[in-house]
Structure 1
Amino acid sequence: MKYHIENFNGTLDFRSKLRQNWWVELHIHEYSEILYCKSGSGFISVNGRNVPLGSGEFVWIPPNYVHQLSFQNSEVVCAVFSNDFIPLFFSALGERRLIVSPISADELTDVIGELYLLQRNQYLKISGVLNMIAEKVIEHSELEVSSFIDGVLFQKVVSYLSSHYIEEIKLSELAKLFGYNEKYLSHALHSLTGIHFSQLLAFYRIEHAKKLLSGNSQKSVTTVALESGFSAINTFHRAFLKHTGMTPLQYRHNNR
């Protein structure tokens, strides 16, 4: 199974593209995403659930949702954007979590279908369009209150992992840090993401290793492994191969 993680550097960023016959490996990111199927159909795996998406439908994927995309013979508009564009959306959610499900674009078809035409510096227009879509999402989506862990704590856990993944992190220590029983926290994270703690931690470590292996880096594979949080080179090789489908050296060769 493959994983990777992506994040923006800026606080206000917007990127959109029209894609065809699109497949994206399992990944997670801290920004929000809209996927609109202009034609054809496909599937999205979100936090361990399979969500079908047909022509004229869209989904809204909040930050820190583990997901994978698969579209064949399809045209899909993908827009990803900073959460600072949509503060009202998060205020409306409160302590609840959005259950990702397909929504008919209906009267918003033209607006959503042309997201990929918006320019990244059109901040007011982007904000207006996104909040219009967000209002429809809140109106037509099922919201749930997690029975295991609240959203604020989950964000703290993700934030901690993104800043400390190079260090040796144990679930027991993380549970103690945030005041939760280890089994309780493990169950909670799996319930919210569809993956286990070790896999979530691997997201960050492997992505860091991929960056170190890309470009003109001359660092040895052993150095990359150690600087990415792996204490043993064999463990790094197995994890990298499992998560990317290639060895570190193969990845380096393909990303020069």
Structure 2
Amino acid sequence: MCYILVATPDEKERNQIKQVVRKDFFNATLLQDAWTMAETVAIAGKVHVDILILSISNEAEDPFYWTAEVMKKQPNIKLILIDETKNFDNLHRSLRCGAIDYLVRPLSKQELQHSIHRSILSLNQISLLHYSTSAITDNIAEQVNQIIEYIHLNYQEPITLDVLAAFSHMHRNYISRIFKEATGMTFTKYLTFYRIEQSKKLLVTTEDSIAAIAEQVGYDDAGYYARIFKRETSYTPNQYRKTFTSSYVAADLVFAQREMSS
């Protein structure tokens, strides 16, 4: 599950952003709103934040002082910054602080969608931007969100439909059906893709052995993991490590989308 914090004093803008998140990013969860930079820092000190969508144009003080304070508390946070008008100094400083995007008002829905999409992918998570879930009821959405959160917290462990049934107190066949309806892919495909994305991150940021990485993402058999990795990415784990170490590569949903119609 991807946790998003929206921080802007503009209520209309806040609602616009939250509407995009709710409609287009099924497996993202909105945290409590923040109105000021100081509130943003306080929230970041209390709860985990994956993506921060932050207005930088309404503070008397240097907004990048506050972004630095947030990043001290959560170094892996992904930033999407919003400015009143295009300011090249702010744009360059946004790039230097590693922001995913620098947006200018009025916000374009498409630009906002793609900024959030890129942020989710950069976390090695799955973005469901291109899959419509408008027909899913609030009750089913809540049930599937609980299952997705369980997967994200326990992907290193053996997870089957029976395990999910015991966790959620729902029948395994019902889980299978609503998960496919809500996400466009089977539970097994989602779990596999999430594990592979987490392993890609480990391959390029650690020197752990392939066997150790396989175990860390839920595969007891390193050979089986390597076959799954090759099927999903067209690289062996070693090839991927040699090719992309020191060069970050975000998740590529084309591999997941191949299975959406299956």
Compute the TM-score of the two structures, normalised by the length of structure 2.
Answer: 0.48
Higher percent of residues as helix = 2
Compute the TM-score of the two structures, normalised by the length of structure 1.
Answer: 0.49
Higher RCO (CA-CA < 8 Å; seq separation 6+) = 1
